[in-house]
C-alpha cells in the first residue's frame, strides 16, 4: 500500500476525523470544529486526506453512514477501510462469478452489499462482515446498487430496476421489479444510483458519448418524475460517477469525473452550484454529513476531501 500522507488546508487531522466520527465526550473538539468552520467564509474545501490503496485500479468506492469508513472495490476483492486509523479492518473475497461492479453500506452500518453475479449481502458481526448469501437479480452485469434508510436494496442494470427488502437477519423480504423502458429495449449502461433518506425517491444516471443523463424515480409508484440531460464535461463515455441526496431531498449532488461536483435542485431541475476541480482522478463516492453542512468526496486517486456545503444550502433556501 502507498504511504499515508495527510495534508489539511485549514483544520487539523484530529478535527477532520472527529467532524464525521464524533465520539461521545468530544464536545470540546466539536466546538473547535465549529469555530474554525465559521472562519472559512469563501473556502469550499475544508480539508484533504490520502487513504492507503492497493496497486490494482479502484473500480468503485462507498462511504459508510457516518463517513468514517470506505468500501474500496477492486473488482476481485473489497477492502473495508477505517478512515480514522487508516487500517483495512476487513477484506471480502468470493464476490461472485464475475468481478464486483459496485458496493454499498446500509444506513445503520449493519449490512454491506457487493454487486455481481450474484449480488451478495454481508452482515456485520464481531469477526467482521459475514456472507449471508446471494440475490439473483434480473439486472445485467456491471450493475449499480444503493440502500435506503428502510433497508431496501436497489440494483439497476440494463433496462431494469429491482428493489428488495433486507430483514434484520439478512433474509430477503418484499421484492419488486421496474421495467424502466418498456417501449425501448435499447440496453442501458448505468453509472450511478442513489436512494434518498425516506426511500421514496431513487436517482440514477449514465453517460453516453458526451451527454450525462439523470433520472429520478418514485419506486413505489413506478413512475419517472424527473429527467435531465446535460453535457458531461469531465466524464468519459460509459464512465462512472456518484450521486447523493441531501436528507430533505432538496439537493442532489452529482460528480463529473475529476472536474468537480454539481449541486442540483431536483425540484426545479436546476444547477445551483459547482464545486470546482480538486481531485486528480474520477470521484467515485459522495457522502453528506448528518447535519448536511459538509460533503465528503472520495476519488480513485486515493484522496478524501471535505467540502463546505453551507453556501449551497443557503442558495436552496433563497
Quick: pLDDT tens for 224-245: 999 999 887 777 766 788 999 9
pLDDT of residue 121: 93
The yes-or-no verdict on residue 9 having pLDDT over 50 is no
Q: ω into residue 142 within 30 of 0, thus cis?
A: no
Look at residue 288 in the predicted model and tell me its pLDDT. Answer: 92
Q: pLDDT tens digits for 133-151? A: 888 776 666 889 999 988 9
How many whole angstroms from its chain centre is CA 286? 5
Instruction: Specify whether the CB–CB gap between 231 and 257 falls below 8 A.
Output: no
pLDDT at 140: 64
CA distance linking residue 223 with residue 208, whole number of Å:
23
pLDDT, tens only, 281-310: 889 999 998 888 889 999 999 999 988 888
Burial class from Cβ neighbours inside 10 Å (0-12, 13-18, 19+) for residue 49 reads buried
Q: What is the 3-state secondary structure (H, E, C) of the chain?
A: CCCCCEECCCCCHHHHHHCCCCCCCCHHHHHHHHHHHHCCCCCCEEEEEECCCCCCCCCEEEECCCCCEEEEECCCCEEEEECCCCEEEEEECCCCCCCCCEEEECCCCCEEEEECCCEEEEEEECCEEEEEEEECCCCCCCCEEEECCCCEEEEEECCEEEEEEECCCCCEEEEEEEECCCCCCCCCCCCEEEECCCCCCEEEEEEECCEEEEEEEECCCCEEEEEEEEECCCCCCCCCCCEEECCCCCCEEEECCCCCEEEEECCCCEEEEEECCCCCCCEEEEEECCCCCEEEEEECCCEEEEEECHHHHHHHHC
Q: pLDDT band at residue 31, thresholds of 50, 70 and 90?
A: very low
Mean pLDDT, residues 119-136 taken together: 87
Res 43: pLDDT: 40
Domains and CATH numbers, the chain: 6-25+42-317 (2.130.10.10)
Beta bridge partners, 277, equal: none
Span 96-120, mean pLDDT?
91
| pLDDT for residue 16 | 33
Q: Are 120 and 131 in contact (CB under 8 A)?
A: yes
CA distance 70 to 20: 13
Percent of the chain scoring above 90 in pLDDT: 39
pLDDT tens-digit series, residues 50-72: 998 999 999 999 999 999 999 99
What is the number of residues in the chain? 318
How confident is the model at residue 301, as a pLDDT?
A: 92
Residue 27 is predicted with a pLDDT of 37
* Cell numbers standing for residue 289: 454529513
Average of per-residue pLDDT values in the chain: 80
Q: What is the pLDDT of residues 246-262, one digit of tens each?
A: 988 999 999 988 878 99
Round to whole Å and give the CA distance between 180 and 166. 23
Sign of CA dihedral 143, 210, 282, 200: negative
So what's the pLDDT on residue 37?
38
**What average pLDDT does this structure show over 214-220?**
92
Q: Is pLDDT of 21 > 50?
A: no
Amino acid at each position: 500500500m502507498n504511504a499515508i500522507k495527510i495534508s489539511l488546508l485549514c483544520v487539523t487531522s484530529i478535527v477532520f476525523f472527529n467532524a464525521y466520527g464524533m465520539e461521545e465526550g468530544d464536545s470540546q473538539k466539536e466546538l473547535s470544529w465549529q469555530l474554525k468552520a465559521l472562519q472559512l467564509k469563501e473556502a469550499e474545501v475544508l480539508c484533504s486526506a490520502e487513504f492507503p490503496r492497493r496497486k490494482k485500479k479502484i473500480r468503485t468506492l462507498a462511504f459508510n453512514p457516518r463517513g468514517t469508513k470506505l468500501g474500496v472495490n477492486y473488482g476481485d476483492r473489497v477492502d473495508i477501510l477505517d478512515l480514522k486509523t487508516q487500517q483495512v479492518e476487513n477484506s471480502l473475497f468470493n464476490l461472485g462469478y464475475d468481478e464486483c461492479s459496485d458496493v454499498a453500506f446500509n444506513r445503520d452500518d449493519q449490512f454491506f452489499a457487493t454487486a455481481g453475479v450474484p449480488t451478495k449481502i454481508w452482515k456485520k458481526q464481531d469477526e467482521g462482515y459475514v456472507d449471508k448469501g446471494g440475490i439473483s437479480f434480473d439486472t445485467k452485469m456491471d450493475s449499480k446498487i444503493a440502500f435506503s434508510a428502510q433497508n431496501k436494496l436497489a440494483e439497476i442494470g440494463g433496462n431494469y430496476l429491482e428493489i428488495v427488502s433486507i430483514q434484520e437477519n439478512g433474509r430477503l423480504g418484499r421484492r419488486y421489479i421496474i421495467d424502466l423502458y418498456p417501449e425501448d429495449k435499447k440496453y442501458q449502461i448505468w453509472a450511478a444510483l442513489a436512494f434518498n433518506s425516506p426511500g421514496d425517491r431513487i436517482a440514477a444516471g449514465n453517460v453516453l458519448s458526451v451527454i450525462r443523463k439523470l433520472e429520478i424515480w418514485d419506486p413505489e409508484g413506478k413512475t419517472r418524475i424527473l429527467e435531465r440531460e446535460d453535457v458531461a464535461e469531465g466524464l468519459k463515455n460509459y464512465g462512472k460517477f456518484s450521486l447523493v441526496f441531501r436528507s430533505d431531498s432538496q439537493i442532489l449532488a452529482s460528480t463529473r469525473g475529476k472536474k468537480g461536483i454539481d449541486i442540483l435542485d431536483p425540484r426545479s431541475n436546476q444547477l445551483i452550484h459547482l464545486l470546482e476541480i480538486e481531485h486528480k482522478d474520477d470521484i467515485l463516492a459522495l457522502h453528506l454529513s448528518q447535519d448536511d453542512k459538509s460533503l465528503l468526496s472520495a476519488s480513485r486517486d486515493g484522496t478524501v476531501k471535505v467540502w463546505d456545503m453551507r453556501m449551497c444550502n443557503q442558495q436552496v433556501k433563497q
